[in-house]
Amino acid sequence: MESLSSVRRIGIFGGSFDPIHLGHLVIAQDAVEKLELSEVIFIPAAIPPHKQHLQQSAVEHRLNMLNLALETDLRFSVSEIELQRGGVSYTFDTICDLKSEYSNSELLLIVGSDTLVDLHNWYNVDELLELCEVASFMRPGESDLMKIREKVQLSARHKDRVLQHAFESHMVGISSSEIRMRVAEGLGIKYLVPPEVEMYIFEHGLYRG
């Protein structure tokens, strides 16, 4: 039987990544180090449930930018599982598929501590929390787990589980929406995204409105 110490711990990091930026990479690196992960798998959503009304960049662009940003770091990889499935990307469906693919690994879903407050609204959340652990990175000033716990609307057992792997991250105040806005306004993004991503954005005329 495989010993507990030899079980691979894999972080699952989903999002629109439109575009991926340095804040995403910092969070992933902190997760690897503080949660002792073997790797982090970035999973771009086809259609995020909470952003169905928003227009996204073409799948190929979001995927290409992810691959460019991650190709030199062996700790990170990209999965097209949600893009290939299409439709609204429910985390429950994704974790079910990944559990089959990584049957001998422990999966940790990486989310922001602010996401924990909305977790009770997620599709099949109770079943999801039985399939994987949740690892949450805390925002600046959110070191008090008891205050976060009060905001989480889950059962006591699930609250304990989702806060078990809370970790402090070197939070960088960058958002994809800010980057898109800056490009549209002709402002620089040089220190907000990896150089390869910056070049890709301008070569393909993304976010110019």
pTM: 0.92
Q: Give the other-Cβ count within 10 Å of 86's Cβ.
A: 10
Pick the CATH number of 4-173 from 3.90.700.10, 3.30.70.380, 3.20.20.70, 3.40.50.620: 3.40.50.620
Does a cis peptide bond (omega within 30 degrees of 0) precede residue 48?
A: no
147 vs 95, residue with greater confidence = 95
Q: What is the pLDDT of residue 141?
A: 62
Q: What span, in angstroms and rounded, lies between the C-alpha atoms of 97 and 103?
A: 10
pLDDT, tens digit (0-9, with 9 covering 90-100), for 133-186:
999 998 666 667 777 788 889 888 888 888 889 888 887 789 999 999 999 999
Distance CA 83, CA 86 (A): 5
pLDDT bucket at 52, cuts 50 / 70 / 90: low
Domain ranges within the chain, ordered by starting residue? 4-173
Q: Given this model, what pLDDT does residue 143 score?
A: 64
